[in-house]
Amino acid sequence: GGGEGGLMGRMKQELTECKGSKRVRWGREGRRLRLKEGEHKDETSLLRLFLDVLGKGTFGEVAKCWKRNTGQYVAIKILKNDADRKRIARYELKMLRILKTVDPDEFHLVRFFEYFSDDAKFYLVFELLEKNLFEFQKENNFSPLPVQHIRTITTQLLRALQKMNDLSLIHADIKPENIMIVDQMQYPFRVKVIDFGSASVLEGFHFSFKGAYIQSRFYRAPEILLGLPFCEKVDMWSLGCVMAELHLGCPLYPGNNEYDQVRYIVETQEQPTDRLLNLGSKAHYFFKRNTHPHSLHEWQLKSVTEYQSETLVQPLETRICILKSLDQLVRVTLFKTILPDSEVVARVHDCKNMVGLLKRIELLDIPPAKSKSQLHTAVSHKQSLIDVTDLLLLLFIISVLQHWYYPFQ
């Protein structure tokens, strides 16, 4: 059968006897070939064996598969072949075909092999990677990642985002689950970006609208939350959130709903300008007109009580680490280390000076490639009593997140 009890239910059996058959249509050749229980045959008559279900996402599931002729393991993303998911699968396939024009290893993008379908499911075949960053964090009890490793990961992700930008693509779902470690033993902290099911081709500026699923909530950019025009810069916001999460060991803005998400951002980074709120199609969900005659702002954030009264939804406090400003990201690192008092004072002094200097650099308005270049340039400098390399990365996180991006401002 082709339902939930069909192929996906059988994947958990590593070796099974052939009890039945179904027909499968391969995308490249369009030829019909027989698919037996526990195994199926491709157009070159080479057997593949389904081994295990690796995970489930919003729109599909991923299975581990073994290609018998080469001994190669692959990952197969499986989506239901209904009208909605068929459209999603074909759109993702369109994105993957664009990405196939570049070297996936050089630009840290997952390698895509092929696709096929049957009456019940649609299958996308990728290289098998080790684990995603969320799984890595979980295995390490969500301990903060040393900054030098965050720097290694960030440099690769900037390269991936720059190449996507060159191809006029927006990923629109950068998060730890979509950043895969390739092989931690052989290539420590070498990563690749996966899951292009939410990606889109950039043709001018996109407009967000109510009900659209764009970006996972913890990593959702302010322009998406507020209903503003957006472009590839939303991926940079998500990257900043991921970097901060690796540094803290917990999500920076773990909102239970969009109001909590906006509230957390405002409490740490202040509210966006009146110009942005006037233009945002969703701003009125979270903000109200300011009735105070002497206020400097036209808008103010709705209180928790007001939001609950209007929506009957109770806002929650889900933050483990609450920052009054992004500057505190630097202090979090400094005071995790036991240092002599004199060194702590010296480092704090240097941090304040460098924060004041580098926060003025609006890195979010700079393409990923130039951000990467600035990162490497500053890394080449040396300074006593402080690791400039580590500090610069933290300031890069701050710079990315502190800038409420809007293209016409």
Catalytic residue from among 42, 118, 173, 195:
173
d(CA 289, CA 302): 9
d(CA 371, CA 377): 10
Give the type of residue at 311: T
Q: Which residue has the tokens 């009735």?
A: 291
Active site residue 173: yes
Q: Look at residue 380 and give its three-state secondary structure.
A: coil
Q: Is 77 annotated as a binding residue?
A: yes
Pairing of strands 287-289, 112-117: unpaired
Closest CA to 76 of 39, 123, 12: 123
d(CA 13, CA 7): 10
Q: What does the buried/exposed string (b/e) look like for 218-256 if buried means 16 or more CB atoms within 10 Å of the residue's CB?
A: bbbbbbbbbbbbbbbbbbbbbbbbbbbbbbbbebbbbbe
Element (H, E) at 279: helix 274-279
d(CA 122, CA 2): 11
> Which residues are designated catalytic?
173
Annotated binding site: 77
Annotated binding site for ATP: 77
